[in-house]
C-alpha cells in the first residue's frame, strides 16, 4: 500500500509582517525614550511639550506614583521591552533564524502582554490619575500594532502552532537561551540598581532644571539681608522637594546649629510669571495654605502635611482641620491680599536670583540645586535668630 505523502510544511512567516513588527518596535523605543525624558524633566521642574491642559498632561502622569516600578520609570521598562521586540523581529528577518517562521509566536506573546499592560495603564490614567499622556497613547498604539503584525506573521501556521514551534526551537538551543537570559537579567538588575542613582545625581546637579548653565551661580548683588545664612525655595507639588524635605529634616538633626529659612517658589503659572505652561496646577494654593498655617503658628505641621499629600491628596481645608486650625480664619487668609503679597514677595525673590528649578538652596550667595551643602557650613556655624 502506497504511503500518503507528508503534507508540505507551512510557508515562512511573511517578511512584510516581520518588517512591520520591527518598525513598530523602533517607534515604541523612540516613544519610550521620550517618556523617560519627560519623567526626568517633570521631576526636575520642567514642563514637557505634551502638557497642554489638566486632562492632556504628560507631566501629571509622569509625576504620579504609577509611573515608577522598582525605582525605575515604567517607560524605561517599556524601552527594554520594545528593544527586545525589535531584536526578535530583526532576528526573524535574518538568515540565522531558528526556523522559517521564527519568531512569530514569541512576538505574538509579547504583543499580547504589551496590549494587556497598555489597557491597565489606560485605566489608571483615566480612573486614578485623571489625565492622559499623548506619548503614552502613542506607545499603546505601537503595542497594538505589534500585536496585529505578530498575528499576521503567525497566520501561515496558526497562532498556537507558531507559539509551540518557537518554544520548541528555543528549547533546542539551551546554551544560547541561557546566555541570553543571563544577559537580560544582568541588564535588568543594572537598570534597577543604577537608575535611581543616575536620577539622584542628575537631580543634585540640576540637569534640565536650570537655564543658567553651571550648577553654582553667583547671586547678583546685593544679596537680600532677610535671606539669612541658608534659604530653601521649594514647591509643594515638586516630588524632588518632598525628597529634599525629608533629607533636610535628617540633616538638621545632625547640624542643629544651621538655620534654614523657607521661601515659596511654586512652579504654577497662576502666581509665578516664569512658568509659561500649565505645570504644578495647585502649587500656588498649597503655598498659600502654608503661609496661612504659619500665621497660626503651625507652619511645620502644615509643611509636613502638604508634602505628605503628594501621596495621599487632600483639600487644604481638610489638612487645616486635622491640625485644629481656626478654619474661618484660615479660609479668610487663603484669599487675603496680605497672603498674596507674601507669596508674591517670595516668588519675586526667586526671580531676582534667577531660579529655574526646585528645590534650590541659597548659601553664601550661591545657588545649590537639590540638596543642602552641609560641607559649606563651618562646624560651629552661628544660628541666626
Whether residue 27 has pLDDT greater than 60: yes
Higher pLDDT, 174 or 246: 246
Q: Which CATH number fits domain 225-376: 3.40.30.10, 3.60.15.10, 3.40.50.1820, 3.30.9.10?
A: 3.40.30.10
User: Per-domain residue ranges for the chain?
Assistant: 15-205, 225-376
Give per-residue pLDDT as tens, 88-122. Answer: 999 889 888 888 888 988 999 999 999 999 999 99
Q: What's the mean pLDDT in 302-316?
A: 91
Q: Measure the N-to-C terminal CA separation of the chain; round to a whole number of Å.
A: 108
CB atoms within 10 A of CB 315: 12
Q: What's the mean pLDDT in 372-385?
A: 61
Whether residue 377 has pLDDT greater than 70: yes
For residue 210, what pLDDT band results from cuts at 50, 70 and 90? very low
For residue 222, what pLDDT band results from cuts at 50, 70 and 90? very low
In terms of C-beta density within 10 A (0-12 exposed, 13-18 middle, 19 or more buried), how is residue 356 classed?
A: buried
Q: What is the C-alpha separation between 366 and 16, in angstroms, rounded?
A: 59
**Beta strand 68-69 with 72-73: parallel, antiparallel or unpaired?**
antiparallel
For residue 191, what pLDDT band results from cuts at 50, 70 and 90? low
What DSSP character marks residue 219? P
Q: What's the mean pLDDT in 285-291?
A: 95
Q: What is the dihedral of CA 367, 206, 213, 63, to 10 degrees?
A: -120
Whether residue 351 has pLDDT greater than 70: yes
For residue 12, what pLDDT band results from cuts at 50, 70 and 90? low
pLDDT at 240: 83
pTM for the model: 0.56
Mean pLDDT estimate for the chain: 81
Query: Residue 51: phi, psi to the nearest 5?
Result: -95, 100
* CATH no. for 15-205: 1.20.1440.130
Task: State the number of CA atoms in the 13 A half-sphere of 240 facing the CB.
Answer: 32
pLDDT at 7: 59
Amino acid at each position: 500500500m502506497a504511503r500518503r505523502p507528508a503534507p508540505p510544511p507551512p510557508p515562512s512567516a511573511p517578511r512584510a509582517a516581520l518588517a512591520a513588527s520591527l518598525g513598530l518596535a523602533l517607534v515604541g523605543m523612540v516613544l519610550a525614550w521620550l517618556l523617560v525624558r519627560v519623567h526626568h524633566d517633570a521631576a526636575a521642574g520642567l514642563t514637557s511639550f505634551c502638557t497642554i491642559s489638566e486632562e492632556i498632561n504628560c507631566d501629571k502622569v509622569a509625576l504620579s506614583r504609577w509611573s515608577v516600578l522598582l525605582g525605575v520609570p515604567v517607560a524605561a521598562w517599556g524601552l527594554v521591552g520594545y528593544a527586545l521586540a525589535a531584536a526578535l523581529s530583526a532576528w526573524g528577518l535574518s538568515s540565522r533564524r531558528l526556523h522559517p517562521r521564527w519568531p512569530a509566536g514569541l512576538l505574538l506573546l509579547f504583543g499580547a502582554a504589551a496590549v494587556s499592560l497598555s489597557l491597565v495603564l489606560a485605566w489608571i490614567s483615566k480612573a486614578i490619575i485623571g489625565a492622559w499622556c499623548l506619548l503614552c497613547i502613542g506607545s499603546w498604539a505601537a503595542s497594538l500594532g505589534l500585536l496585529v503584525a505578530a498575528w499576521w506573521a503567525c497566520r501561515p501556521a496558526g497562532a498556537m502552532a507558531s507559539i509551540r514551534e518557537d518554544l520548541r526551537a528555543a528549547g533546542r538551543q539551551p546554551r544560547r537561551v541561557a546566555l541570553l537570559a543571563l544577559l537580560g537579567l544582568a541588564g535588568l538588575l543594572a537598570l534597577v540598581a543604577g537608575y535611581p542613582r543616575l536620577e539622584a545625581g542628575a537631580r543634585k546637579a540640576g540637569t534640565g532644571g536650570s537655564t543658567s548653565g553651571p550648577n553654582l551661580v553667583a547671586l547678583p548683588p546685593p544679596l537680600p539681608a532677610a535671606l539669612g545664612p541658608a534659604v530653601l525655595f521649594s514647591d509643594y507639588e515638586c516630588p524632588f522637594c518632598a525628597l529634599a524635605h525629608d533629607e533636610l529634616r535628617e540633616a538638621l538633626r545632625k547640624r542643629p546649629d544651621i538655620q534654614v529659612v523657607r521661601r515659596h517658589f511654586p512652579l504654577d503659572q497662576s502666581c509665578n510669571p516664569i512658568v509659561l505652561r500649565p505645570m504644578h496646577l495647585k502649587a500656588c494654593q498649597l503655598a498659600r495654605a502654608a503661609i496661612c498655617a504659619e500665621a497660626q503658628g503651625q507652619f511645620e505641621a502644615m509643611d509636613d502635611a502638604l508634602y505628605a499629600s503628594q501621596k495621599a491628596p487632600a483639600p487644604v481645608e481638610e489638612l487645616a482641620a486635622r491640625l485644629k486650625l481656626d478654619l474661618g480664619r484660615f479660609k479668610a487668609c487663603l484669599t487675603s491680599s496680605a497672603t498674596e503679597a507674601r507669596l508674591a514677595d517670595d516668588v519675586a525673590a526667586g526671580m531676582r536670583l534667577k531660579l529655574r528649578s526646585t528645590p534650590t538652596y541659597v548659601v553664601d550667595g550661591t545657588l545649590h540645586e537639590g540638596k543642602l551643602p552641609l560641607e559649606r557650613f563651618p562646624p560651629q556655624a552661628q544660628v541666626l535668630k
